[in-house]
Structure 1
Amino acid sequence: MKTGRILRSVLIALLLALVLRPDWFVPIFAPFAPDGGPVIYQRASMLSLSLSHLGIVTLASAAATIVAVALAILVTRPAGAAFRPLSRTITNMGQTFPPVAVLALAVPALGFGAGPTLVALFLYGLLPIFENAVTALTSLPRATTQAARGIGLSRLQRLLRVELPLALPVTLTGIRLSIVIGLGTATIGSTVAARTLGEVIIAGLLTNNTAYVLQGGLIVGLFAVLIYDALVQLELYLTGRMGG
């Protein structure tokens, strides 16, 4: 446990340094830069790109969570059970359709910028949240749900007070997977002028500057690891509170 805290603190410190003071890493990245070329990406600040990147992922993940959980609630009610196969097919399509293709199709309608990226991340993030929410809502302890019904709770009250709280840890696992997928996938948004950390990676690929690629990739990777870890800790906390 103590080792985990130390490692977490080291990774947080490294991420903050990369974002706020990238010039500190010139000696490390210099061997990977072209001769006489720039070592640290300076066309935009790492802080502004990081905040924009996280903002896009947060908006897309929030929208995917709302839609996927609402859909899961619908198809786990008796009145909506018939729509479960169709809902699963729709959410699966979001994963099987390449994000690059979504971007290409969305640009004519939404223009360049964050819009197409939000659509791509939203579609890509639906499946893990939907599947986990359905699994959680269909595997609730029968004794608990019967007890809630026995004390006179209405369907809405049972959903809000019993079912959703009990389903939250498993649903949160799907949200965690969706967010981590989104953090990596959002980098391609820079191909359609969205402000993400992919801008650094793409600039490195276009100029044959591996230092840029490493800089952008390392920041994205650290964000993914730390956010993943934070959500795992939240899941463990919620599971512990619910006696699971």
Structure 2
Amino acid sequence: MKIGLVVRLIVLLLLLAFLVSPQSFAGFFTLLTKNNQPPIYNQGSLLDLTLNHLAIVGIATLAATIIAVGLAILVTRPFGAEFLPLSRSLANIGQTFPPVAVLALAVPMLGFGTAPTLVALFLYGLLPIFENTLTGLSNLPSAVTDAAKGVGMTGWQRLLKVELPLALPVILAGIRLSVVISLATATIGSTVAARTLGEVIIAGLLSGNTAFVLQGGLIVGALAVLIYDALSALERFLMARTGQAGRAAA
């Protein structure tokens, strides 16, 4: 456990160092270039691209979380149970249409830039959050919910004070999956002029510069691993705090 934490801290520090001062790593990336190609991406700031990439993923995930959790709450109430098939169909839209197809359909309506990428990531992130929230709210300990009813809590009080706190680790597992998927998928947003780390990868592919491709891939990969581990740790903390075990979805 301690070794794993040390490794993650080293990865985080190396990532921060590279983003703040990429030229310090030029010696290593020079080994991957040919014909005097630049060893470090020089068509923009790697730090700015990374922050913009994270912002796009964060906005899309927040929107997907609000809609997916809201739908799951609706269909787990007696008055909304009949909408479960429709809600599932809506949540599955993003998985039915690949992000590239969503981008192709969104560009004529929204134009080039960040907007089509946000739409694609939003749709792609709905399903894991919806299904995990549905699972979390549908598998609550009956003794706890019965006790909440016994003390006279209203439906909304039970939802806010009992159900959502108990389901939160499982919901967070869905958000974790959505974030990791979006981090990788956001790179294709650069094909429609969104400012993401896909710019670095595409520039490397077009110029045959392996160093650029590796830089973009390593940053995205490091971010995915670090964020995944951080959210996993938060899930474990929440489960321990609520006395649960083994309920979070993988």
2:36 is matched with 36
Q: Within the alignment, does 1:134 sit opposite 2:125 as a pair?
A: no
Aligned partner of 1:112 in structure 2 is 112
- How many angstroms does 1:96 deviate by? 2.1
CA-CA distance at 1:31 after TM superposition: 2.3
Match of 1:56 in 2: 56
Q: Partner residue of 1:204?
A: 204
**Structure 2: distance between partners of 1:82 and 1:46:** 48
Q: Post-superposition shift, 1:85?
A: 1.5
Q: Deviations over 1:135-162 (max 9, x none)?
A: 0000000010011011011001110000
CA deviations on 1:81-135 (whole Å, 9 max, x unpaired) are: 1111221122112112110111111111111111000000000000000000000
Distance (whole Å) between structure 2 residues aligned to residue 2 and residue 223 of structure 1: 20
What is the deviation of 1:22? 1.2
Superposed structure 1 runs of 4+ greater than 4 Å apart = none
Deviation at residue 11 of structure 1 after TM alignment? 0.7
Contact 1:128 1:178 in 2 (8 A): yes
How much does 1:191 deviate?
0.6
Q: Which residue of 2 aligns with 1:11?
A: 11
Gaps of at least 5 residues in structure 1 are none
State how far apart, in whole Å, the 2-side matches of 1:224 and 1:184 are: 8
State whether residues 129 and 175 of structure 1, in contact with CA within 8 Å, keep that contact through their aligned partners in structure 2.
Answer: yes
Partner of 2:156: 156
TM score, norm. by length of structure 1: 0.98
Q: Secondary structure at the match of 2:92?
A: helix
Paired residue secondary structure (2:31): helix
Work out the CA distance in 2 between the residues paired with 1:43 and 1:175.
33
Answer yes or no: is the 8 Å Cα contact 1:18–1:219 preserved in 2: no
Aligned residue in 1 for 2:165: 165
- Whole-Å Cα distance in 1 between the matches of residues 199 and 60 of structure 2? 19
Other structure's SS at 2:221 match? helix
How far apart, in 1, do the equivalents of 2:161 and 2:33 lie? 56
Deviates more, 1:171-180 or 1:32-41: 32-41
Give CA deviations for 1:28-80 in whole Å, capped at 9, x if unaligned. Answer: 21122231111110111111001100000000000000000000001111111
C-alpha distance in structure 1 between counterparts of 2:149 and 2:109, whole Å: 48
Rounded to whole Å, the distance in 2 between the matches of 1:127 and 1:187 is: 20
For this pair of structures, how many residues does the alignment match? 244
Alpha-carbon distance in 1 for matches of 2:26, 2:182: 29
Unaligned segments of structure 2, at least 5 residues: 245-250
Give the aligned CA root-mean-square deviation in angstroms. 0.8
SS in structure 1 at match of 2:194: coil
Deviations 1:171-213 (A, max 9, x none): 1000000000000000001111111011000101111111100
Cα offset, 1:240, TM superposition: 0.6
Please give the alpha-carbon distance, in whole angstroms, between the structure 1 residues aligned to 2:220 and 2:94.
23
Name the residue aligned to 1:242: 242
> For residues 20 and 216 of structure 1, what CA distance do their matches in structure 2 show?
15
Paired-residue identity, %: 66
Structure-2 residue corresponding to 1:93: 93
